[in-house]
């Protein structure tokens, strides 16, 4: 069974802390995504990676960075967490670029910043 | 502007009743259309997708959706709802090629009465 795993399901951090959200997929997918989900706003793309060490900014990249050193792993980094980054973060992957194939999602990481 | 509209924020149906969730989109390119379901505290799971061909598509868990190009709609239906269908449902659209951008609706939360 295909799987996207987000290692931290629930995190509580303090303002100013550095936060790492990890995502691993076992499907050998080239493309990986980080979305933020907030009630009434749907899913908003933070960053996209089309291959190892390759990334594109999404719609809301401010305050976030990403790292993709290996094909299966895509990390989201909050350099200095703020309360307005309290949210649900969803990682997703898909097989290849060039067409809008289906996304496979992880179970999400719910981050609370105090 | 590209957009996906799910006009119903909440829907309540009785178990065994039929269900229709509405989705309208505005998209310049040839759209690929998706419906995802999200159970509480979980990630998104693909229910079905439309790329081309027959405009009535079958998905998992007994769901189906019909693509109507003239109405820019992709409504999700189920003839008889089960209590386990209570969840949030998201419609999404992606371009046929050359993009990593998906547009998600804001979701419809389904409540099922026993």
pLDDT tens for each residue of A85-99: 999 999 999 887 555
Enumerate the residues of chain A whose CB falls inside 8 A of the CB of residue B90: 42-43
Touching check for A27 and chain B: CB below 8 Å? no
The reply to whether residue B107 touches residue A99, judged by beta carbons under 8 angstroms, is no
Question: Concatenated DSSP letters for chain A?
Answer: ---EEES-SEEEE-TT--EEEEEEESS--SEEEEEEEETTTEEEEEEEEEETTEEEE-S--TT-EEEEEETTEEEEEESS--GGG-EEEEEEEES-SSS-PPPEE---EEEEE-
pLDDT tens for each residue of B8-48: 999 999 999 999 999 999 987 778 899 999 998 888 999 99
Closest by Cα among A13, A22, A35, A26 to A89: A35
Q: What is the pLDDT of residue B40?
A: 87
- Lowest-pLDDT range, A27-31, A73-77, B39-43, B92-96? B92-96
Given a contact cutoff of 8 angstroms between Cβ atoms, the answer to whether A103 and A2 are in contact is no
Touching check for B90 and chain A: CB below 8 Å? yes
| Share of residues in chain A with pLDDT > 90 (%) | 79
Touching check for B42 and chain A: CB below 8 Å? yes
Q: What is the pLDDT of residue B5?
A: 95
Q: What is the pLDDT of residue B77?
A: 98
Instruction: Give B17 to chain A, closest Cα distance, Å.
Output: 26
A1 pLDDT band, cuts 50/70/90, is low
Enumerate the residues of chain A whose CB falls inside 8 A of the CB of residue B91: none
């Amino acid at each position: 069974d295909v799987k996207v795993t987000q290692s931290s399901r629930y995190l509580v951090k303090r303002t100013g802390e550095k936060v790492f959200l990890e995502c691993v997929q076992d499907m050998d997918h080239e493309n990986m995504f980080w979305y933020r989900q907030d009630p009434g706003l749907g899913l908003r793309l933070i960053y996209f990676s089309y291959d190892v060490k390759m990334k594109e900014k999404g719609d809301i990249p401010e305050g976030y960075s990403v790292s993709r050193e290996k094909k299966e792993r895509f990390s989201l980094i909050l350099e200095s967490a703020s309360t307005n980054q309290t949210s649900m973060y969803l990682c997703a992957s898909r097989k290849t670029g060039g067409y809008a194939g289906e996304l496979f999602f992880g179970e999400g990481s719910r981050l609370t910043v105090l | 502007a590209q957009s996906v509209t799910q006009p119903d924020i909440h829907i309540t149906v009785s178990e065994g009743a039929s269900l229709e969730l509405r989705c309208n989109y505005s998209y310049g390119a040839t759209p690929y259309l998706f419906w995802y379901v999200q159970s509480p505290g979980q990630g998104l799971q693909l229910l079905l997708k439309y790329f081309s061909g027959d405009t009535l598509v079958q998905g998992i868990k007994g769901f189906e959706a019909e693509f109507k190009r003239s109405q820019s709609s992709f409504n999700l239906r189920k003839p008889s709802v089960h209590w386990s269908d209570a969840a949030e449902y998201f419609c999404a659209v992606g371009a046929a090629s050359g993009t990593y951008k998906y547009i998600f609706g804001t979701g419809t939360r389904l409540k099922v009465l026993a």
